[in-house]
Structure 1
């Protein structure tokens, strides 16, 4: 197995489908925005704050992990703050080689200082557009859009869905459902899914991370999800022969069969999954076996600030700890491109004119 090196991996074109806007702020930005609104942070200075976020995420305490978002969301309550965070997210992703990004966030959590949901979405789109333009001026091409998230434990699903429908094609790429899986199933507001489907708005749902296979099944059957956020617990629906371990012959249960047969994309986030307990390590993460079994696996960051990660970092870990090759990285990148919430011809262009040629260029340089 060849270690590819950080410069090689950073130069690869990448596609990011699962990245939370409120989980990817620059520590410097959190400090400056907090100072502007008088929000007290748990650590002084960008370096110390970055360490605090990372330590909280690594603590294996859900309470501490969720506490991190109280600080990022608190400083994202004005149009100017939302524009800045979105602009910087796009620039940071472009610098990491990302050519297509879908940034998800919950507008309902950003209304404390008087914004409406529509105004908040408009501010984020302004920031995204500015980031795309600035990246282009720096010689980096990136396409980015929003996924509007409704929180499972709140009752704003219909309102967020209506906003996604109204702004579909105007920067909004789709609808997402996030929050605690246990006790808040998609069926709480089952009319929302029919409403979104009737207006051809694609849906991704967080499932199979904190809860098991049943959560994935509900996301598909009730939520009509076209992609599954995380989805790593689908591995619970796969059994192996007693002698071969997870490297041996696999027997798929009904949900795992359906997910694989229909090639439903799994938005897998290895580093984050190890922090939340959905996986023990990157080396033993289910993503590798799921990919070997021909599931539609995509690679994602989840929360870049909390997990102190990037797509380059995720790829590096899979290369060095799980033995992934350049071909493996190409496979998940192509899968992500074909799973993007854009039109088919746009996906084809991304794959044939950006992703494959970009990987081939890096491969030729290594010969």
Structure 2
């Protein structure tokens, strides 16, 4: 296969003698329009007669990482103007989706949910259904190519509605129309502050009535109220990011001087009901969802408190990362071993929008892959 982003020069992708790239991974929070190869952007832009901020792949990749590292979510989101602009034809969507799968395979990913917003890809005449069909074709091409290389991956779609727009009901209906064609769930993305899930109650009620799984961005750029709306109005089974769930967890010292966690009703619901947290460490640093450095990320706090935490890339291009690199960073920051990464991987399996028998089969594959890696 081809194309996965090169790892950081100083980032060690081995842990306890295991090559992290070879470990089987499940990617739940992975934006299609945030995973393009820089060279693909340049080629598609040239075909479409569009200008790009840089003319060479390496320089363009560096531009995306630098531009996304503003510490502000709306500014971070502006970088998507460049990627979405070159994804306006069926051929471009097919190519991007195919390469998305190829790059996932190169990173050891065995299951990926590609989330994207079809409403952003209609500028050159595609219908919503045609856009979804083009991505489905590209994902299928990528899976077939993986099989030809002796690899195995399942790549499906999560359809995203933009919370600042008014097309969420259209996108919910679109997801339902294509649920037999590889669309497994629904998402809300875009500026979080001021655009709560409750604004999209009609779409979310329809999805609940039709038993379509929902994961919502919440607790990234807004606080606990946004998470509550995702849980109550959205019936969310997963939370995209969820970093500000810490607002409902207090660390206090008991009479013996031991630090204990007091977990509030919202955080308790998330933990006790198994609502999966889709955490994206590098992205959270870029957008300002996290202050300090990676050691300050609440991922480890939630992990130690037995929340169903997962590690994700969010946007490989904007963060200049891969899932293997995110695992390596998390392992270094929190002194995790391979067994800890296995727990994170199985958390992701449990959160996958698959029927229970398929999740069990995926869990068996992941465990077998970890066993093989440990044995060398």
Partner in structure 2 of residue 346 of structure 1:
358
- Compared CA separation, residues 113 and 5, structure 1 to 2 (3 A): farther
Partner of 1:328: 340
Aligned length: 361
- 2:305 maps to what in 1? 293
Output the TM-score relative to the length of structure 2.
0.93
Which of residues 259, 264, 278 is equivalent to 1:248? 259
1:54·1:305 contact (CA, 8 Å) conserved in 2?
yes
Find the counterpart in structure 1 of residue 217 from structure 2.
206
In structure 2, the partner of 1:314 is 326
Q: Does 1:111 align with 2:122?
A: yes
For residue 133 of structure 1, report the CA deviation from its aligned partner: 0.3
The 1-side partners of 2:26 and 2:17 are apart by 17
Residues in 2 aligned to 1:7 and 1:68: alpha-carbon distance in whole angstroms: 35
Closer/same/farther in 2, CA of residues 102 and 4 from structure 1, 3 Å limit: same
Q: Which among 343, 349, 357 is matched to residue 337 of structure 1? A: 349
Name the structure 2 match of 1:122.
133
Once the two structures are TM-superposed, the CA of residue 317 in structure 1 deviates from its matched residue by 0.5
Please give the residue correspondences for 1:235-274 in structure 2 after superposition, counting only pairs within 5 Å: 235-242=246-253, 248-274=259-285
* Residues 294 and 336 (structure 1), Cα distance of their counterparts in 2 relative to 1, 3 Å cut: same
Partner of 1:74: 85
Contact residue 42 and residue 49 of structure 1 kept, 8 A:
yes
The CA deviation at 1:62 is: 4.1
How big is the shift at 1:141?
A: 0.5
> 1:128-277 residue pairs with structure 2 within 5 A?
128-242=139-253, 248-277=259-288
SS in 2 for 1:210: coil
Contact 1:34-1:40 within 8 A present in 2 as well: yes
Structure 1 residue 63, shift from structure 2 partner = 5.1
- Residue in 1 that maps onto 2:7: none
The Cα offsets for residues 51-79 of structure 1, whole Å up to 9 and x where unpaired, read as: 10011122324454222100000000000
The alignment status of 1:303 with 2:315, answered yes or no, reads yes
SS at match of 1:249: strand
The residue number in structure 2 matching 1:13 is 24
- Match of 1:139, SS state, is coil
| Cα pair 1:5 1:316 within 8 Å, conserved | no
Partner of 1:362: 373
Q: 1:150 to 1:6 in 2, by over 3 A?
A: farther
Q: Could you tell me whether the CA contact under 8 Å between 2:164 and 2:195 is conserved in 1?
A: yes
Aligned partners of 2:71, 2:279: CA distance in 1, in Å?
19
Residue among 34, 57, 60 paired with 2:68? 57
Structure 2 spans left out of the alignment, 5+ residues: 1-12
Alpha-carbon distance in structure 1 between the residues aligned to 2:119 and 2:137: 18
TM-score by length of 1: 0.95
Q: What is the Cα deviation at residue 150 of structure 1?
A: 0.3
Mapped partners of 1:136, 1:258: distance in 2 = 40
Residue matched to 2:53: 42
Kept in 1, the 8 Å contact 2:32–2:100? The answer is: yes
Change (3 A) 1:6 1:126: farther
Q: 1:105·1:147 contact (CA, 8 Å) conserved in 2?
A: yes
Aligned counterparts of 1:63 and 1:133: Cα–Cα separation in 2: 37
Give deviations 1:294-315, integer Å, cap 9, x for gaps: 0011111000000001110001
Distance 2:74 2:330 in 1: 28
